[in-house]
Structure 1
Amino acid sequence: MAAYKLGVEVVSAHDLMPKDGQGSASACVELTFDGQRFRTAIKEKDLNPVWNEHFYFNVSDPSNLPELALEAYVYNVNKSIEGSRSFLGKVRIAGTSFVPFPDAVVMHYPLEKRGMFSRVKGELGLKVYITNDPTIKASNPLLAMNPVSNIPHAAPTTPAEQIAADIAGTSLRTSQEHRSEVKTLHTIAKEVHHHQQHGHLPASFGEHPSKYPVEHMKPEHQPPKFILFVRVVKARELPDMDLTGSLDPFVEVRVGNYRGITRHFEKNKNPEWNAVFAFSRDRMQASVLEVLVKDKDLLKDDFVGLVRFDLNDVPIRVPPDSPLAPEWYRLVSKSGDKSMGELMLAVWIGTQADEAFPDAWHSDAATLEDPSAVTHMKSKVYHAPRLWYLRVNIIEAQDVAIFDRTRFPDAFVRAQVGHQIGRTKPVQARNFNPFWNEDLMFVAAEPFEDHLVLTLEDRAAPNKDEILGRVIIPLTMIDRRADDRIVHGKWFNLEKPVLVDVDQLKEGKVLYSASSPSDLRPTAKQLWKPAIGLLELGILGAQGIVPMKTRDGKGSSDTYCVAKYGSKWVRTRTIMNNPNPKFNEQYTWEVYDPATVLTVGVFDNGQLGEKSGEKTSSGKDGKIGKVRIRLSTLETGRVYTHSYPLLVLHPSGVKKMGELHLAIRFSSTSLVNMLYLYSRPLLPKMHYARPIPVLQVDMLRHQAVQIVAARLSRMEPPLRKEVVEYMTDFDSHLWSMRRSKANFFRLMSVFLRIVCRIWNFRYRPRYPPHMNTKISHAEAVHPDELDEEFDTFPTSRNPEIIRMRYDRLRSVAGRIQTVVGDIATQGERVQALLSWRDPRATSIFVLFCLVAAIVLYVTPLQVLAALGGFYVMRHPRTKSL
């Protein structure tokens, strides 16, 4: 494999600090990484220099990337004095932000100060990525004492570097070799963290008792749950069973009343299964394990041979012990005196921490007659796709040719991404160049499988729209952006559905980074920060689950749990027909912000075949209840074990469906980084620089949930749509009198606690009051709304119109309800400052109060007032400090 290199494209700088006494600066950029140093050319007297130069650093140890950092220093060079330069600012990029080339975008980083009293402003545009392209050679590093006056131009000098520079500006390659490279680079850039990324802890975690899975997080009085594992590997030299000399073998594993069956192979005397079976020891009523090999037949399966094990002699294996090596066992007849071939097996007793646990067939599935339903019982880890906001700015069209030349076009643009559709307002232009300058927003998911379809249409009649042209843009060709830089528009030729003149449509496009509401980690990898902690969740069990279906004339529930934090979803195995299921499964997540929420839901599996061969009546997974836990309320390092009630709202009222027993621990990897987050904004800069309108937020949330549900339902076993919607509160925007009353009383409660009275006496009205048509929306009212306003009470309109107006009322009321809830949430956040639930925020506030009390006690009030006055009245040249 080729050596890895770090590619850095120095693009430009903006609004630098003048340093040469003439209101300008001669800037260059010096890059340092892993003991190597490069420098760009000097741009004479330019506060907004543009370089577009490429550099490639050797990566000595790819596994050490998260511990390294790229530093870029911007200097003003004075050529008249040899070796003279002044500091303009620096940028430091942690190794955790390095991404493969396909994910790299130009980022504009604000320049940082080097010291407390240095004056710095402006920003530096860089594109940073890692690559293992063998055609790319590392750049020539600078000597340690290379004088500034002899700085060479650092453009690519070799053919390979020139090729690499050309590649940096092209679209993604699609060859199999490049896809393999990208996959490898993702592994280096994403998985070199010291925390594991998958759901179950690996066996090596047993070496660290403080991080051992569920067994160490359970209450002391609860013993560990032991499981009998049977790994069926393969067989050899099996005898002929049919008259034709063929054999269709399969294996049946029996423990008491439980049995597990492998798939069968047709006409194969040396089959390989590689199947694992798991039987819970506390539910077994037998002391002997039997492994039988049978021949599949239409009427009755023929017996081939068996192996017996005494369960008292089965070895116990607990991680970090190495996996038990399988061995060959001779198959014997039922009487035990005849050899019938050999079977390779491994039998041991372990716990949930065993690496074979997630993919094993469990004894809970023993009552299933439909083998395909077993896949719906396994525990799995799911990763939701990375989501982006797609902002489409429809600017204008030129030379629009319509069929009726006697009028000007009444044109609009319809945009579609997958099942999402948006359209601009019709423009009644006085020429054939309609102008919109209107933004449409969609949600796109990686990998980008859809296309952006823009259709130019003309309103030829009140109920007739004519298509004038269409352009199809693959999402992979759209620029991805992680800051608020302006993206310039492009002209696209429209494909004509009929034979007319060639039109052109200009549209500006950009992909915006979407931030997940659960972990606040941006989609753009360049904005990723190191993890501040590790969240461990132990799903121990549930008690008193209410029956959700009827089986054999009795109430029954097939229970499983789903936990969600960030983009990672986990699902436990299904426990059949047990009101008090025991899961004893643990999962972990990396934490990037403490102000986040963990959601755990409990469901009834409706996809399991009954003995009669039928599924549940609805075919959907039933909702038993869910629990939410805010991480900021957890103390670091403490294990919380608690039973949470599962409450569900039914038409008859609130009903308790049982209790969920969880064990939770939030461990901090960096207390300093965690405290630093309390001083940072919750969202990236772009969310505040160009916020999304409130009316679009609900629509985008709806689209995002639909995309995530569609992707997770394509996995095996699928995480069903109703599960995803319930976990994400998909219907929270719909009108509900209960929610509206709750939000209203929340808001009233906040205002009662936080009384704010503002008396704006100077701006009181000076004229007699009169109706304001803008405030009352009388100028822009829709005719149907006026008809509804002047309708009689009770109504005299037909049922179809009433139904349409009622649905519209529900939609508007749902938006109002959401806004009221958001306002109440903001007020509760202010109120939560005095609730002392966050131990870290409490410590910071107490420390601040202590320091403030000491300062105010030892310092006279006049001195503080004088210092404050001097600070406010300081010279403008010092206000940037």
Structure 2
Amino acid sequence: MGPRAAAAAAAKIASTYDMVEPMTYLYVSVVKARDLPTMDVTGALDPFVEVKLGNFKGVTKHLEKNPNPVWRQIFAFSSEHLQSNQLEVVVKDKDMIKDDFVGRVLFDMTDVPARVPPDSPLAPQWYRLADRSGEKLRHGEIMLAVWKGTQADEAFPEAWHSDAHSLPLEGLASTRSKVYYSPKLAYLKVVAIAAQDVVPAEKGRALAPTIAKIQLGGQVRRTRPGQPGGSANPVWNEEFMFVAAEPFDEPLVVTVEERVAAGRDEPVGRVIVPVAAPYVPRNDLAKAVDSKWFNLSRALTADEAAAGKKDSKHFSSKIHLRLSLETAYHVLDESTHYASDLQPSAKKLRKGAVGILELGVLSARNLSKANTYCVAKYGAKWVRTRTALNTLAPRWNEQYTWEVFDPCTVLTVAVFDNTYCLGGEAASKPDQRVGKVRVRLSTLEIDRVYTHLYPLMALSPSGLKKTGELHLAVRFTCTAWANMLGMYGRPLLPKMHYTHPISVLQLDYLRFQAMQMVAARLGRAEPPLRREVVEYMLDVDSHMFSLRRSKANFYRVTSLFSGAVAVARWMDGICKWKNPLTTVLVHVLFLILVCYPELILPTVFLYLFMIGAWNYRRRPRKPPHMDTVLSHAELAHPDELDEEFDTFPTSKPGDVVRMRYDRLRSVAGRVQTVVGDLATQGERAQSLLSWRDPRATAIFVMLSLLAAVVLYVTPFQVVAVVAGLYLLRHPRFRSKQPSVPFNFYKRLPAKTDMLL
């Protein structure tokens, strides 16, 4: 794409909120006040501001004993709530029984100016306070800014909305829209090589076998014992991977312990290493990293720590470690099937963006919950819409933008019921899931706005329930055509995942740890993105066993063979002359291809082209959504769903667990039979030349030699014609018995008779 085209695309993207319906708001910015008059007999003043518009009002926090308060709060009143022609801003004094009136400012709605982004922000002004009769006070001014705008205004995310006027203060923050970013994660590689001059924890006792315990925050890994009999210089040579999050506040703690008994380890030395340069180097280019010797300080036992002793240095004891931050990997915090980011951790290794993703969260209808908000995740950026209170048909009309680095990624949008906004005991309850939508970017056409209603479904132990519909607008704009097309020929993950692969088990463990870090970091934001929200977005429980998922995946595998089965049935009909005209046409095509073999490959690819062109008119018109039939959610038995939502370890009584175990054995038996049959067919093919059956292998070898001689002296066209005509022979020349090659193959040995 040239510079002009890129500039045009950027200009198009700059027109924000073009995919959603504009919503008008009255914004009131309460900045501060000065020289307020005192109201109490003590001369103190605890001022706060009430912003009233008809039956709706917003209240600032009160500031104790402050005649010159600073609030800096913005209130937004929706056009649906403009029930009065006057806006009233009242300054009051907080009191135990009844709040005292200090002064007010009135605004006529016809005089409020309108502001359209990207206009300059409206400057606040000082207004003299007046009493109830309208007379100006001798003392007291308040700085305000009042204007009309839309949800595209930069004040919108931080504003207190009028529909939340009845909420407690502790719940107001959770109703606002917010943008979050996942922490920057990297893999920390620790190679525990050896230790030197290790002394036992108790003097006068022989050294027991030693291990190295490596801890980074809540991640703990242990090596195997160095030598069975114990040694002052143990050798481990074991490698571990941890997930570290910038700014790397948590240090790496390596403790050498001796295993004095089963389940009892006594610490004998410890080293604490900050996870930052120069202690731990960054390995951006997959180069060899030098190892280092670290001095071990004496690790106190539990009894010594309780007695108040302090660590004393033992510089004779050392540990040999190789530490590095492997930033050439991508830290997976979500399933690779639904990944939204595949870039490496190192900024220097990341490629440029290939496009822009725009999402408009429009509305929803027929929801099962009344206080709902949306969360969307793509890459490291999370967005949360404001909470629409007391409505089953919310209208958010909020638009967000992401950079796209790989089109083969997935946008995830979910709807939740906000319980925290109610405050009190309800705030401690988890936010309820309403439903989820996934949109794969590669299924979207460029520069097209997809505006559709997506069904929301919630699966619970009681069954599948439709919880509403979510109205979204999605647009994918490409800014680098050549780079985007080139992505289809590149590996999905960074090169390090293939040159130095991480085992599947370790990758699952690291993914779980990354999820926990992301959930903990976003849970500390204000307002917090709660743990249950993050875990639902990242599919934290996707690895847990589910009989429903197992059935769905099994039938997905079997459906893959439906195409081959259809071709086999068609070919069987051709060979049995069920449709003589079609069989004759196949004979003609077959003879043409045999006589002109150079047309075989062009014919195959032309046929593929024609199939693709024919299917173009039946292409999907909108992105796919959750398929309940494919997921086997509609036909799932209630007990299967109850098992899926059971805790781990299980919390069910023994008889229920026994019944489910027996059912699992029954289903697993059928699965293992199918897998065993597939393995048997492959092993029979291997046994053709393995001399497991000497007579069968001898027959096959001699037939192979004979076939080689015949094929050498016979033209290829003759062999192809004879084989083809034999395959397409008329049914009167066919026998009801299985063919000789089929019988020969079925008699070949497999490894089934070697199983216990």
- TM-score, reference length from structure 1: 0.59
Corresponding residue SS for 2:172: helix
Deviation at 1:670, TM superposition (A): 1.1
1:507 maps to 2:307: no
- 5+ unaligned residues in a row in structure 1: which ranges? 1-66, 68-193, 196-204, 548-556, 758-798, 824-881
Deviation at 1:207, TM superposition (A): 11
Q: Which protein shows a greater Rg?
A: 2
How far apart in 2 are the matches of 1:750 and 1:408? 60
1:587 maps to 2:387: no
Correspondence list, 1:695-734, <5 A = 695-734=505-544
Q: Residue type matched to 1:268 in 2?
A: N
> Which residue number in structure 2 is paired with residue 667 of structure 1?
477
Correspondence list, 1:184-333, <5 A = 208=11, 211-214=14-17, 216-218=18-20, 224-333=22-131
Post-superposition CA distance 1:657-704 (Å, at most 9, x none): 111111111111111111121222122211101111111121111100
Q: 1:210 to 1:389 in 2, by over 3 A?
A: closer
How far apart in 2 are the matches of 1:296 and 1:397? 67
Determine if contact 1:401/1:501 at 8 Å carries over to the other structure.
no
Post-superposition CA distance 1:475-497 (Å, at most 9, x none): 11211112332223222222223
Deviation at 1:310, TM superposition (A): 2.3
Percentage of matched positions with identical amino acids: 54
Correspondence list, 1:590-601, <5 A = 590-601=403-414
> Which residue number in structure 1 is paired with residue 159 of structure 2?
360
Corresponding residue SS for 1:716: coil
> Which residue number in structure 2 is paired with residue 387 of structure 1?
185
How far apart in 2 are the matches of 1:523 and 1:685? 12
Match of residue 254, structure 2, among 454, 459, 462: 454
Deviation at 1:568, TM superposition (A): 0.8
Corresponding residue SS for 1:561: strand
Corresponding residue SS for 2:420: coil
Deviation at 1:527, TM superposition (A): 0.5
Deviation at 1:432, TM superposition (A): 3.8
Q: 1:242 to 1:689 in 2, by over 3 A?
A: same
Determine if contact 2:297/2:315 at 8 Å carries over to the other structure.
no
Corresponding residue SS for 1:705: helix
Q: 1:407 to 1:299 in 2, by over 3 A?
A: closer
> Which residue number in structure 2 is paired with residue 543 of structure 1?
365
Determine if contact 1:294/1:305 at 8 Å carries over to the other structure.
yes
1:746 maps to 2:746: no
Match of residue 243, structure 2, among 413, 422, 443: 443
How far apart in 2 are the matches of 1:207 and 1:307? 43
Q: Residue type matched to 2:354 in 1?
A: I
Post-superposition CA distance 1:262-314 (Å, at most 9, x none): 12233333333222110001233222211111112111111122222222332
Aligned length: 554
How far apart in 1 are the matches of 2:189 and 2:9? 48
Corresponding residue SS for 2:199: coil
Match of residue 298, structure 2, among 483, 486, 496: 496
Post-superposition CA distance 1:705-755 (Å, at most 9, x none): 001111111111111111110100011111111112222222233355579
Q: Residue type matched to 1:685 in 2?
A: K
Corresponding residue SS for 1:702: helix
Determine if contact 1:295/1:301 at 8 Å carries over to the other structure.
yes
How far apart in 1 are the matches of 2:150 and 2:375? 21
Q: 1:632 to 1:354 in 2, by over 3 A?
A: same
How far apart in 2 are the matches of 1:440 and 1:210? 45
Determine if contact 1:213/1:538 at 8 Å carries over to the other structure.
no
How far apart in 2 are the matches of 1:684 and 1:209? 32
Match of residue 692, structure 1, among 490, 502, 508: 502
1:525 maps to 2:347: yes
How far apart in 2 are the matches of 1:467 and 1:801? 40
Determine if contact 2:9/2:477 at 8 Å carries over to the other structure.
no
How far apart in 1 are the matches of 2:385 and 2:456? 17
Determine if contact 1:206/1:319 at 8 Å carries over to the other structure.
no
Q: 1:468 to 1:271 in 2, by over 3 A?
A: closer
1:576 maps to 2:389: yes
How far apart in 2 are the matches of 1:584 and 1:350? 14
Determine if contact 2:227/2:235 at 8 Å carries over to the other structure.
no
How far apart in 2 are the matches of 1:235 and 1:471? 55
How far apart in 2 are the matches of 1:270 and 1:455? 56
> Which residue number in structure 2 is paired with residue 565 of structure 1?
378
Corresponding residue SS for 1:739: helix
> Which residue number in structure 2 is paired with residue 161 of structure 1?
none
How far apart in 1 are the matches of 2:181 and 2:63? 34
- Structure with the bigger RCO (C-alpha within 8 Å, sep 6+) is 2
1:345 maps to 2:155: no
- TM-score, reference length from structure 2: 0.68
Q: Residue type matched to 1:729 in 2?
A: D
How far apart in 2 are the matches of 1:344 and 1:688? 61
Q: Residue type matched to 2:16 in 1?
A: P
How far apart in 2 are the matches of 1:504 and 1:668? 55
1:605 maps to 2:418: yes
Post-superposition CA distance 1:348-382 (Å, at most 9, x none): 111011111111111121011x2122111111111
Correspondence list, 1:149-164, <5 A = none
How far apart in 2 are the matches of 1:733 and 1:594? 25
Determine if contact 2:343/2:494 at 8 Å carries over to the other structure.
no
- Measured on the aligned residues, the alpha-carbon RMSD in Å equals 3.3
Q: Residue type matched to 1:597 in 2?
A: V
1:679 maps to 2:482: no
How far apart in 1 are the matches of 2:75 and 2:453? 30
How far apart in 2 are the matches of 1:302 and 1:206? 56
- 5+ unaligned residues in a row in structure 2: which ranges? 301-311, 333-338, 569-650, 676-756
Corresponding residue SS for 2:519: helix
Determine if contact 1:537/1:586 at 8 Å carries over to the other structure.
yes
